[in-house]
Structure 1
Amino acid sequence: MKIFTVVALLFSIIFLTESIQHFHTTCNDVGILEGIVDSMKELGEMAKQKIAAMEGQVCSKREGTYFYSIPENRKHIPSDCADVYYKGIRLSGIYEIWPRFLNHPINVRCDMDNDNGGWTLIQRRGDFGENSDFFYQPWDIYKAGFGNLSKEFWLGNEHIFALSNQKKSVLRIDLKDFEGHSRYAEYPGFVVRSEVELFQMTYTTYKGDAGDSLDHHKGVPFSTKDMDNDNHKTHCSQRYKGGWWYNA
């Protein structure tokens, strides 16, 4: 599946974020938007052009073939966007899926165009007219997910957990500015643990040309404005106005 911030998962899970951070993403330099801006500034310097704006999405993609028992009432529903793609559907859009570890189906945005298609977007950020504090949400909201699948959104930590644990996945982060310059990062073995483990995030390796912005977040629990799980004396989520896997 693929997940997009564009962050997406490919089992597909792609984690696509036109808001990826570069270098050491500690509490002091990890701000969701600020970190993204820093990374894009570097791209801008390389291109010798000023970055005007950006948006992001994350996705993931399936690796290999996996088999498990599927209840009769859900056999006709794909478990992720990779399943949708493998059924012969090639149009990007919103589809109903039913991940293995959920007791109900959910709607997700599938990217059938990027990198051979089949990506499930988990986050999307961009210039969609939302307030600057749109991603400044409490723990329960980040758990359930929020936003508009056609605009900006966070798919929900419980949904990302279900997607990343049912099959091997790849997290992909794509960065793009308004002038068309782009970079990407892929993280095979991307997994988000359960709420009992505070939705801790990990992965195995990195590849891409955007820089490994998640290196300092590996093995770190999720934090929100009302749940400070980072290792810094400052409440990073409150400081940077958004939920994330903040480190110190």
Structure 2
Amino acid sequence: MFVHFVVFAILWMPVTLQLVTMRSFLATPSCNDRISNIEFVAEHQARSRRSCAAMCSINCGCFGFNLLVNKCRIHRSCDLVNMTSTEDGWKYYQINLPPDCQGVMESGESTSGLYVIDLFGGRVQLVTVYCDMETDNGGWTAIQRRLSGTMNFNKTWTEFKNGFGDPANAYWIGNDVIHHLTNRQPHFMYAIFKLHAPPGRTKHRKSSCNSLIKVFRLQYLFLTSGDSMINAGHTGGNVNGASFSTVDRDNDQWNSGNCAVKYKGGWWFNDCHDAFLNGPWPPEHWFEPWIPAITSVSDIAEVRMMIKPT
């Protein structure tokens, strides 16, 4: 049995957002002193290979740096078969993007913000995510983020499956992405509320669970008391084994209708919920996001769900 923690907290700390491109790279010596016959994405003057690496955007698969002329060239890819010409001084480096925010942290980044991750490797699917590098030792990948009702979470099955929104403001990373991240190994989950309130009223809630999501079904093992996602006194709030439901796909256990339709948002409903973080804003229409800790949501400023490997 895998055991790890789900953490609930209420915080008021502001977070500065910025999009950060990873600067982790590996040398590709087979391409050195060569020039690609495929047009490069961009060319810049650069003082070092690290400053050249910093110029890589989401379209940059590798870069070449020539110390002899302090020149940097950005490429989508560096394949030896395309390096048909020669020129002294060029050295090439493959950009490595981590698969999650824990990998971002392990690469040396320590600032919370927006990062690009390479979900499957080989740059098959690049995803921009919010990474929390301060909470509980950092390395948290935000699978959901909501700021002041800027995004409607009453979406279809396909929209939740593929993901939607803007990580800088409000987004759902996508059930396909969540499944891929969590299916390989158990994960911690951390749920955060930030409130429009003065400091001094902080609440924390911890419980234990096993791996998060397999084929859009929440696998959740209740081991401690006081957790809203699996309320021992209300079977309808127990999300252990609950399938994800949306307005157009009813997978809940409520016999009188579709919980996602009634509460206007996709979630792992049972019959129906004691924890529900995808309710509609303005908050007066959002019913009981986390019982018993939060029953009124009028002062909520941000909601965030984050995961990282155990």
Q: Same fold (TM over 0.5)?
A: yes
Q: Please, which of 168, 179, 182 is the counterpart of residue 161 of structure 1?
A: 179
Q: Name the TM-score, length of structure 2 as normaliser.
A: 0.50
Note the C-alpha offset of 1:189. Answer: 2.6
Residues 117 and 186 of structure 1: is their aligned pair in 2 closer, same or farther, counting only changes over 3 Å?
A: farther
What residue identity is the alignment partner of 2:259?
Answer: C
Q: Deviations over 1:10-51 (max 9, x none)?
A: x9x988787xxxxxxxxxxxxxxxxxxxxxxxxxxxxxxxxx
Q: What is the aligned partner in structure 1 of residue 101 from structure 2? A: 81
**Is structure 2 residue 249 aligned with structure 1 residue 227?**
yes
Q: Does 1:140 align with 2:158?
A: yes
Classify the secondary structure of the residue corresponding to 2:193. Answer: strand
Q: Report which structure shows greater RCO (CA 8 Å, sep ≥6).
A: 1
| Offset of residue 96 of structure 1 | 1.4
1:128, CA displacement in angstroms? 4.6
Q: Is the 8 A contact 2:132 2:138 kept in 1?
A: yes
Say if 1:136 and 1:243, in contact at 8 Å, map to a contact too: yes
Matched residue, 2:129: 108
Structure of higher CA gyration radius: 2
Cα distance per residue 1:42-99 (max 9 Å; x no partner): xxxxxxxxxxx9xxxxxxxxxxxxxxxxxxx998221110011011110111111123
1:119 and 2:140 equivalent?
yes
TM-aligned CA deviation for residue 104 of structure 1: 1.6
Residue-pair matches, total: 175
Aligned pair 1:174/2:214, yes or no? no
Q: Whole-Å Cα distance in 2 between the matches of residues 140 and 185 of structure 1?
A: 32
| Structure with the bigger percentage of strand | 2
The DSSP-based 3-state class of the residue aligned with 2:110 is: coil
Post-superposition offset of 1:167: 2.9
- Using the alignment, how far apart are the partners of 2:192 and 2:246 within structure 1? 23
What SS does structure 1 have at the residue aligned with 2:179? helix
Q: Which amino acid is the alignment partner of residue 84 of structure 1?
A: V
CA distance in 2 between counterparts of 1:162 and 1:171 reads 15
Instruction: Give the equivalent residue in structure 2 for 1:201.
Output: 218
Percent identity (aligned)? 33
| In structure 1, distance between residues paired with 2:240 and 2:96 | 35
SS of the residue 1:106 aligns to: strand
Give the unaligned 5+ runs of structure 2: 13-76, 78-93, 231-237, 272-310
**Cα distance in 1 between the residues matched to 2:129 and 2:108:** 17
Q: Which structure features the higher share of helix residues?
A: 1
Cα distance between partner residues in 1 of 2:154 and 2:9 = 17
Seen in structure 2, the aligned counterparts of structure 1 residues 14 and 174 have a Cα distance that, compared at 3 Å, is: same
Q: Is the CA contact (8 Å cut-off) linking 2:6 and 2:209 kept in structure 1?
A: no
- Return the offset for 1:106: 1.3
